[in-house]
Amino acid sequence: MDEEHKIYFSCQEYLEKIGHPELILLSKIQAVWEEVVGENINKNVFPVKIIEDTLLVSISNPAWDTQVNFFAKDILSKLRKRIDEYGVPPNTAADSRMSEHVKTDQSTFPLRMKTFLKH
């Protein structure tokens, strides 16, 4: 295991111990985001935080608010399926073992998305 993975898993264990599994789930979502949403959306919309049952995404301009709201359920469904079936892609900040640490059951996976305009 290389240094990057050692540091990642040390941070992951710490976050689990202090009760922040949503940060681990967020990193999984970020790792597969572009693959799920495509390059165009990825350039304009990016997940930044999970608050309770909501994935908060930053948008590049107000026009993306409508797009995100229209496709939110579909995007979340695809994210859940991608993470549940395959974990995260190799050679990202986390490897496939990451999927063992946070289960994406109904109680932990975001049910909705909200946007905010990044400045």
| pLDDT for the residue numbered 95 | 42
Q: How confident is the model at residue 97 (pLDDT cuts 50, 70, 90)?
A: very low
Assessment of whether the complete model's pTM goes beyond 0.85: no
Choose from 9-18, 22-31, 91-100, 105-114 the range with maximum mean pLDDT: 22-31
The DSSP annotation for the chain comes to --HHHHHHHHHHHHHHHTT-HHHHHHHHHHHHHHHHH-HHHHHHEEEEEEETTEEEEEESSTHHHHHHHHHHHHHHHHHHHHHHHH-S-TTSSS-GGGGGTS---TTTS--EEEEEE--
For 17-38, the pLDDT digits (tens) are 666 678 888 988 999 999 999 9
